[in-house]
Structure 1
């Protein structure tokens, strides 16, 4: 447990720059407005403060992204991993982080994107889910559109501002409760303005930090909150082999792996992915998007 906490702290030491690793501090999530929630949450949560997942029915419309039914008391549902079956599926997820106030740093030349990583995923033919902040889509609209229009990928919501939805979340500025829902909705508005089609009703909390108050605040958006069960450790890492080993050691059937699509804060991610993908394929794993794992948990085939 101590080792895990150290690993998570290292990954999340990004402060205001990255958003991909916190410890979950509460219950379960729900789905955004386009689609309606459906599935049963089979995300085996080991986080003590996260409540049990609610069950749901698969949607009768196969074109709609599957979401989880609301959790207890109508709270946003939380998904962490897919079914642990003999079907060896794994979802690589990439957080495209940019905090609302980092415009001057981008103007000065800091790169919050990573086009070579996206090119590598295309070259390797790896489906992936990109959790994008609205601010990132505004800064890199061409890339955001390109990712959103590529059937290999799906775009999901990582907030507009990349500010924290709890206090004390790896140094991120904290949003007041009455602005949480608006921040999620503003990200979808930014995606539409950038021409990103079909952003999914999935949401990843900045830093991975959430509690019951946050789950209640964003419930009306209808999103399913998506966490992970494998921390890559790519944030500020300089050893691609160490990142690859951490992923390979952690992956199990149905795993959701959290990585970053932010060149300045995760410079070795592309090289790590190039090592991870062929090895997992050699082990019999098939790469899928988060929507497929949620669909499997919901019973949609």
Structure 2
């Protein structure tokens, strides 16, 4: 699978909470300043480090953001050519049917492999596409055995992903970035500081990576969600095969509990 099983951030780096002042920051792949759909970002952290958002703290609204990592590494082309599926169109269809606004953290390599799907997702107002790197290589080492990028290569990798989204025709892109494997440290945050993105982690691990029991995934999510939560899941059939089925259990139950689904941009902007 492109993404290792989700985990908490590898190290506590400087972060700006959801209540921090938001700003508007243009960058490659994001809408130009003043354009419709411009997304809020957090102010830089201490010493200009890239800010990190995990959950909207002190959130009075019962809102929750479901996020899905559409990941594929730069060397998995032969596996895709051999029939392995790194996409999950059934999941996207279910999110549309259930009218669940969602944020898709996509790798550039995924967008290149599935350009029609990237465009379809990236032109649907139900979704926003955020950056999960181009190559899905690590920005901090060690990180689940992923090959590591140095600072200059890391920044270029982010830009290359935004370029892949543009090439596919995706327009609903936002200046958010999720570190592959969730692994980061201060040098990684410093390397991305000029990209003017907000790093987005999570506070609820779904456990859908390599899972075989959708009920267990649903139970884990339902047990962890709080107002303002960010849930990490995956949009990859080959390595997260029960996610779509789990979503059909999670969504109605959270709505029954009074939760409203929002994109990450709404959490950051409140």
TM-score band, normalised by shorter chain: over 0.9
- Aligned residues of 1:163 and 1:206 also touching (Cα < 8 A): yes
Deviation at 1:64, TM superposition (A): 2.2
**Does residue 65 of structure 2 align to residue 110 of structure 1?**
no
CA distance, structure 1, for counterparts of residue 49 and residue 40 of structure 2:
17
- The answer for unaligned runs of 5 or more in structure 1 is 1-13, 30-40, 44-52, 297-301
Moved more, 140-149 or 166-175: 166-175
Which aligned pairs between 1:81-160 and structure 2 lie closer than 5 A?
81-160=55-134
- Is 2:11 aligned against 1:23? no
Q: Aligned runs of 1:264-283 on 2, under 5 Å? A: 264-283=238-257
Q: Deviations over 1:70-126 (max 9, x none)?
A: 000000000001133331000000000100000000000000000000000001000
Contact 1:106 1:112 in 2 (8 A): yes
Whether contact under 8 Å (1:91, 1:128) holds in the other structure is yes
The 5 Å alignment of 1:174-193 reads 174-193=148-167
Pair 1:63–1:178, CA change in 2 (3 A) = closer
Shift, 1:58, TM fit: 5.5
Q: Deviations over 1:137-178 (max 9, x none)?
A: 000000000000000000000000000101111111111222
Secondary structure, counterpart of 2:141 in structure 1: coil
Aligned to 2:27: none
| Partner Cα distance (2:38, 2:202) in 1 | 22
Report if the CA contact (8 A) 1:235-1:265 is conserved: yes
Work out whether residues 4 and 209 of structure 2, in 8 Å CA contact, stay in contact via their aligned partners in 1. no
Alignment partner of 1:56 out of 21, 26, 33: 21
Of 166-175 and 152-161, deviating more is: 166-175
Q: Does 1:290 align with 2:264?
A: yes
Asked whether the 8 Å contact 2:17–2:52 carries over to 1, the reply is no
The count of residues paired between Structure 1 and Structure 2 equals 260
Contact 1:203 1:225 in 2 (8 A): yes
What is the rounded CA distance, in whole Å, between the counterparts of 2:42 and 2:250 in structure 1? 29
* 1:12-44 deviation line (CA, Å, top 9, x unaligned): xx5xx2156233214246xxxxxxxxxxx324x
- For residue 208 of structure 2, what is the aligned residue in structure 1? 234
Gaps of 5+ in 2: 25-32
Structure 1 or 2: more strand by fraction:
2
1:201 match? 175
Aligned counterpart, 1:10: none
CA displacement at 1:198 relative to structure 2: 3.4
Distance in 1 of aligned mates of 2:180 and 2:99: 28
Preserved CA contact (<8 Å) 2:210 2:240: yes
- TM-score, scaled to structure 1: 0.83
Q: For 1:262-290, what per-residue CA distance to the aligned partner results, in whole angstroms no more than 9, with x for missing partners?
A: 00000000000000000000000000000
Aligned to 2:28: none
Q: Does 1:42 align with 2:17?
A: yes
Which 4+ runs in 1 deviate beyond 4 A?
A: 57-63
Instruction: Give yes or no for contact 1:58–1:295 (8 Å, CA) kept in 2.
Output: no
8 Å Cα contact 1:20-1:258 kept in structure 2: no
- Corresponding residue SS for 2:75: helix
